[in-house]
Each structure stands twice: as C-alpha cells, then as structure tokens.
A and B are shown apart, each in its own frame.
Chain A
Amino acid sequence: MRFLPARRRVLKAALLPPAAAVVPLRFVADAHADSVAKPGQFSYFMPVEFTFVEAAVARLIPNDELGPGAKEAGVATFIDHQLSGPYGRAETWYMQGPWKQGTKEQGYQLKLTPAQLYRTAIADIDDWCSKNGKRAFAETDTNAQDQMLHDLENGRITLARAPAKDFFQMLLQNTVEGFLADPMYGGNRDFIGWKMIGFPGPRYNYVAEIDQYGKHYTMPTIGLLGRDGKRTKES
C-alpha cells in the first residue's frame, strides 16, 4: 500500500482532459481534490481495486467538453459503498446450488456475488495485463484503457476466473447507476449526472407544469437530502 500515493499521481496526470476539451477548471480542480483515494477510506475495495474502478469509470463516462464524468461524480465511491452492502453480498438473490451454466434466457447463473465478481475480475485483469506484458489498467493511457474495456465488453479477453463480459456489464450498469442515482449514495456528486441530462430530481409536484408543452422546467435541482445549496451558483 505504500506505493499508492505515487500511483495515484500517475493516474491523475493520465486522466486530465486533453487540452482541446473545454472543461471549466473549477470542476477539474474540485473534483480531483476530493476524489484522491486515501488508504483505509473504503468500505469494500482494497486501494488497488479502487484505483482500477476509478480509472475504468472515468473512461465509461469521461470528463469531456460536456462536463465532468463518472470519476468527478464520485462513482467509484458509490460502487465501493454498494459492494459493501446488501447488493454486493447478493443478499436478496437466490444463491443455492447446483450451479450450472444456463442459456442467456436464464439470466445470471454465476456463483459469485457482485462484490466477489469485482474482486475476482479486477485481480484477473491485473494478471492478464502482466502476463501479456502490458501496464496495469490504471497506469496505461486512455486509448489503451478504452481498447481494453472494449475487449472486455466483447469477450475478446478471456480472464482466468471471472467471465469478462459479465463483469463489464455489471461495471457499466453500476457506473450508470452511480452517475444517475440520488447523490446520497455517494455518486452523482453535485448532481453532475442529473444536471447533464436535465432531470430536476424528485420534485414531487408537476400539476401546474405538466401541460406547459415544450417548455423547459426551470426549478433548481433537488435530491432526497434537499437542495444543492452551495453549488446552485454554478448551474
């Protein structure tokens, strides 16, 4: 774990947006300031796992000219929390054997819980990289990262234990969840996701607005924990 801070710095540099992307600086500065991981601050991940996930989600929903992405929205933290809870443990799922590979119509049939799938797949990906003479995912450049994500998505990479496609699908699904769920779960920080698409949050009453056809809804974004007081100036 001692090597982590240095590794983090490499990662940070690699992920700064290309000069051409016009991202208001305050986003980048703020977001990076509080997303740098400190050992021991995670609920489920080991630091190296967090590093992987943060790098991956930053490619799945990148920081670009449209605004900040999944990393800035805190999605890696969101996933960390989810995996440490009932979802990560597949608490409500039917997890009794016998375990068989089913047809795709029969849905999820892995013995691994979501938390176990992440742990296994991330370790497998690391192994795959070192066996194939490649730099670890989080340390390589964004083009190579995108390529590797595409390869996982299409099953072009075969991992030692975890099914690559299933892992990719879960990672993508959880990333979208983290980007678009209520901020109280740690992602969608400052309503980054909701503001990008124009969802005002759980506003509850649209009786007066529903027949204002074609008009933008202009009330400020809210979440279940209330208004985004400190940031409304930015929106």
Chain B
Amino acid sequence: MATRLPHVDVVLVGFGWTASILAQELTDEGLNVLAIERGSFRDTVPDFATTQIQDELRYAVRNELFEEPERETLTFRNSMDQTALPMRHLGSFKPAAGAGGAGVHWNGQNWRFLPTDFVTRSHTEQRYGKNFIPAGMTIQDWGITYDDLEPFYDRFEYLCGISGQAGNVNGEIQAGGNPFEGPRKRGFPLPPLKRSYGTVLFDKAAKEVGYKPFPCPAANTSEAYKNIYGVQMGQCTFCGFCEWFGCGNYSKSSPQTTVFPVLLKKDNFKLRTHASVTKVLLDNTGKRATGVVYVDLQGREYEQPADLVILTAFAQHNVHLMLLSGIGKPYDPVKNEGVVGRNYAYQITSSVDVFLNDVVNPFMGAGALGQAIDEFNGDNFDHGPEKFIGGGYIALWTTGGRPILQHHLPKDAPKWGSGWKKAMKDNYLRTVSLATHGSVMSYRDAYLDLDPTYRDVYGNPLLRLTFDFHDNEHRMSNFLTDKAQGIAKAMKAREIHANPRKGHYTIVPYQTTHNTGGAAMGTDPRTSAVNRYLQSWDVPNVFVVGSCAFPQNAGYNPTGTVGALAYWTAHALRTQYLKKPGPLVSA
C-alpha cells in the first residue's frame, strides 16, 4: 500500500527547465509547491566542477547525466506493421534524469519560432491551397499566435541571459541580425558571443552566396549577467565541453544558474529526488486529479495529494504518464480518433563537413556558438515550386572538438589502420561542419502509445514510438543539404563531404533530443489533448507543459518556445486559474 503524504497545493512532475520556471512563478503566488524528480540533486558545485566534468568518455560516451534505459525507456518501430523493440541503450535522443533536467546538458541554442510556425495549417492552405498538404499529414494550428507568446519569449530570454543580435525590433530590421525573425519588443539581454574562426568563414561564404548570416542566439553568456530574479552568471570561457556536460562556470543558462539560487531558498518550495512518478491519481469521476503516486529507489510507493498537478517531465514522459493515468483519450491511428499520443514529431538533420587548409582549433567552442542563415526556414521562401512543407536553418556551430565523438573525416578515409590515423592527424584541427536543422510535420502514422509487451522497472508498459521520416521531410532536408553545400563550396575548402539524411528514421545514432507532440495544444478537443493554456481538456486541474504541446515541429530547437510556453502557462495560472479553478476554455 502506498504511504499517504501530507497535501500540497501544487505537484510538479520532474524538476527540469519547465518545472523550475513554474515553481518559481507559483511560489511567488504564495502556493506550496513540491517538485518530484526521478533523478538526483545536482548543482554547479560540486557536480559540474571543471576538474571532473570535462570528461568525454564519462558524460558524452557513457551518458552519465542522462536517463538510464534500464529503469525506463521506450520501444520503437518505423511502421505499424512492425514489432516495436526496446531502445536498449540511448541513441537518437538522450532524455535527462536529475535536477535541472536537460537544462543541465543542453547546448543553449535558443530560438523563437516564426510567426507562421504557429499557424502552419491555415497559413499553408491560404498561401498554397488545401491540396498542397499531402494525405496523411495532420498538421494544425497551435491555438496561440507568435504575438501571444512574444512577452513570454522575452521573459525566458531575460531569465537566461541570451547572447545574440536582434534582427527585428518592433518591425524594424536590424543590421547583422536575423531579418526573418518575428518582431521582438527589445534586443537580446547580451551581445553576441565572440566568434570562432569557423563561424567567421561561414559568415563570409554565406554573404558571398547572397544570404544574410547572423550570430545564433546563445544561452552561453558573452558577458557577466544578472537575470530577472537577480541571479548572477559569469562569462563563458568557450571550454568546449558544453552540450552533454554541465557548465562549471555559471555561464550556460540552466535551472541551476538562473533559478535555483532563489527558488531553493523559499520555504514554500520543496524538492523530492530519486522519486519516479508512475501515475496521476484521479477521483471517481475521472475529471479531477487528486495527486500523484511515486516510487522511491527502494521501490516504496507514496501517494502525494495535491490540488494542481503539472506534468513537466519532458515531452514523451508527459505523454507516457497521461496514458498510464487515463488522462485524455488515447490516440488510435486506425480509427483516427483520440488525442493522447497523436502528432508525435521530431527533427530532421543533416550535415556537410568542410575540410580546410587552415587550423580552426575546434576544441575552442560553446554549445550555442554559431552563425546561421534563415532564408530556408519555415515559410521564409516560396514553397510552391519545391512541393514540400517546412524548412530549417543552416548553421555552422563550433560547440567543441571532443576527440572521440567530434572528429570528422573525409569520405574516403579508412575506418581504421594507418590510413585512419593519418586522416585523424591531418583533419582534426582543420575541419568544420555545417548543420541543417529541419522541421518535421505530423502524420497520422507517427504516434505514441503503450507497448503491449515490454515493461519498465515499475511494471508499467513502456511507451511505444511509431515513427518514420516521410517523403516531405526527405525532400525538404535534401533541399537544405544542397543549399548548405553551396555555402560550403564558397568556403575554399580542400574537400567537402555531405551527409544527407537518407532512408528510415533510426533510433541510433544520436540526432537531437527534440521530441515533440503527443499532447498537442489547440482549440479543438478532438485534435488536441490540451487547450491553449496547456490545460488538459478532460482533467482541468492537470496542466501538461513541454514540447509535447507542439502540434508539429518547426525548423528550430525547441527550448526557446518550451520556456515561453512555461511562462505563458504560469501567467494563465496566476492571472486566471487560481482566481477561479476550472477549465480556462470551454470545450
């Protein structure tokens, strides 16, 4: 029997990026907030000290900071006629486990989506006609607009201390910034980072080809910064052990460096670690959550009553908990009914390696130090002749030169032997790589449900992922890869080697941890699991926050938008829900 614990006002499931924001905002409202996190507590000191964190084998190769599939993983198949098998070790994506969530080990590539990204369906229909959308593609509008979200994008950027160059302030295009971005009310809190040699070469080449390159918005601080909660950060040192590692220098924006110092001092906030939530409890009407059940490391079960349950466990984990708890109707792709698990999407990426004569010192870098072009993102160009939907940015990132996983070799280089050695010696210091980062639309046959066979350590069915890249995405990605090759050619390279994304989606190797959808937001309860405030249509005292709300995925990294949505939800809770608990939108 589960031990019943004293009641709290709010339970947050997980303690990553979104939970930290919600905890901070809701404790300010005077509520008693408890975050329940499956991993351990960790902080800059001692866990990310530079005397131990810069260890590629331990953290990037052996995955020490991430989720352990042994405890929970998912099963995967490309299509409904296959049998899904467990992801036995981490591959394509690496979900977090531990305080700070993936905010600890993200790159900090912090983007806003384009205004048209929030109205993908209506905009596409309007510009290209209804027939432009292929059969089986289930894209839809978000139910909110860029303008709704703008103040909350701003707040997340000023929480983080984003380094960057604005491209559009109140409709006025700014030199050197991204001219395609949606209008922002003010510039970034910090100037752009210093540039690496690679980004300078990219900038020059992209301009030669006729594009408008700009410094990528970075959650790595270009200067010392004091954020909206008064928390102090220091200047990034370009240590090159950024993504997949924690920052030992208080320079990468994370819950630890932006929220914890204030939040953890509050009497009305509590954190419970090594506690895995296995279920949200509902009362006998099924329309009200009464709390959650969690299991500690010894397997003991606890019942934690709460008035408000907020799922902040990361995209697919939120969906998993909804399915295990019976919140919302599970999606059935055959009948094309139900919403929970529907519209899963991801990111499609490719790269072009550029082998130069000059030394570029790849090991000097930061997770979000890059230069990009946005000409081919969203609907920034005419899709009519291309006959696909979506797009992406093309960037040259210099995130680091960790020797095991971050070396690039020419196409003909041997995989081993003296030839491999020579290729390593000749190229390690002289290679840069262009990345394309493409959107993925949603489809009727790309979804999440519960696996019929495999179970996690708690005895619950694993989540099952059914997903493949569709023709639309391949064509879009090839288009981006060609454009990237055009820039690479202008870089006066010794050799260029394109790595297009071919064939089926595969669960190995690593691509991105940009899993989206499964609990889409929207205006219609038949096609969305949550309303425009991320509130469950079915159980109004449950909110579901994260990239699972994206109805399809845009051509940018998700967290700028995830952070903005967390603030958007916090605002709705503070200004509407707490005054009058109940559905914020009538179904």
Contact = CB atoms under 8 A, between A and B. Distances in A.
A66 B306 CA distance: 65
Contacts of A217: 361, 363-364
Nearest to B356: A214
B78 interface: yes
Contact of A194 (B63, B365, B403): B403
Interface string B355-391: 0001111011100000000000000000000000000
Kindly list the 5 A-B residue pairs having the minimum CB-CB distance in the complex, ordered from nearest.
A202-B54, A197-B428, A180-B403, A206-B364, A105-B506
B249 to A, nearest CB: 8
A34 interface: no
Interface of A: 59-62, 64, 66, 69, 86-87, 90-96, 98, 100, 102-109, 146, 149, 153, 172, 175-177, 180-182, 185, 193-194, 196-200, 202-207, 209-211, 213-217, 224
B50 interface: yes
29 contacts: A60-B417, A60-B420, A62-B417, A66-B425, A90-B89, A92-B70, A94-B86, A94-B87, A103-B78, A105-B76, A105-B504, A105-B506, A181-B404, A185-B57, A193-B403, A197-B403, A197-B424, A197-B425, A198-B425, A199-B363, A199-B428, A206-B364, A207-B237, A210-B196, A210-B365, A211-B194, A211-B195, A214-B197, A224-B51
A172 B69 contact: no
Contacts of A60: 416-417, 420
A180 B416 CA distance: 14
Interface in B413-435: 415-418, 420-422, 424-425, 428-429
A197 B69 CA distance: 34
Contacts of B429: 197-198, 216
Contacts of A204: 50, 54, 237, 239
Contacts of A200: 363
Nearest to A98: B453
B208 interface: no
Contacts of B63: 92
Contacts of A215: 359, 361
B581 interface: no
B56 A182 contact: yes
Contacts of A210: 194-196, 238, 361, 364-365
A182 B403 CA distance: 10
Contacts of A146: 417
B239 A198 contact: no
B156 to A, nearest CB: 26
B468 to A, nearest CB: 9
B69 A94 contact: yes
B78 A105 contact: yes
B175 interface: no
Contact of B404 (A98, A172, A180): A180
Contacts of A197: 403, 407, 424-425, 428-429
A92 B68 contact: yes
A153 B61 CA distance: 22
Contacts of A59: 416-417
A185 B57 CA distance: 9
Interface string B38-65: 0000000000001110111100011100
Interface residues of B, number: 66
A61 B359 contact: no
Contacts of A102: 85
A170 to B, nearest CB: 12
Given A66-B422, A182-B55, A92 B69 contact: yes
Contacts of B200: 213
B421 A107 contact: no
Contact of A61 (B73, B238, B420): B420
Listed residue (A172, A185, A211) with the most chain B CB atoms within 10 angstroms of its CB: A211
Contacts of A95: 70, 88
B89 A108 contact: yes
Given A105-B78, A209-B361, 16 more contacts: A61-B420, A86-B62, A94-B70, A94-B87, A94-B89, A106-B507, A107-B89, A107-B506, A175-B416, A180-B403, A181-B404, A203-B239, A203-B363, A210-B238, A214-B358, A214-B359
A199 to B, nearest CB: 5
Given A103-B82, A105-B505, A93 B421 contact: no
Interface of A is mostly: loop
Given A98-B453, A216-B359, A105 B507 contact: yes
A187 B426 CA distance: 22
Nearest to B429: A198
Listed residue (A60, A92, A182, A211) with the most chain B CB atoms within 10 angstroms of its CB: A92
B446 to A, nearest CB: 14
Given A107-B506, A207-B235, A196 B70 contact: no
Contacts of B240: 206
B54 A224 contact: yes
A190 to B, nearest CB: 15
Nearest to B430: A198
Contacts of B73: 94
Given A196-B425, A206-B364, A64 B418 contact: yes
A96 B455 contact: yes
A172 B415 CA distance: 9
A106 B239 contact: no
Interface in B120-164: none
A109 B89 CA distance: 10
B83 interface: yes
A185 B421 CA distance: 21
A193 to B, nearest CB: 7
A98 B453 CA distance: 8
B418 A198 contact: no
B57 A69 contact: no
A90 B89 CA distance: 9
B77 interface: yes
B522 interface: no
B404 A176 contact: yes
A115 B40 CA distance: 28
A102 B86 CA distance: 10
A95 B240 CA distance: 33
B416 A172 contact: yes
B443 interface: no
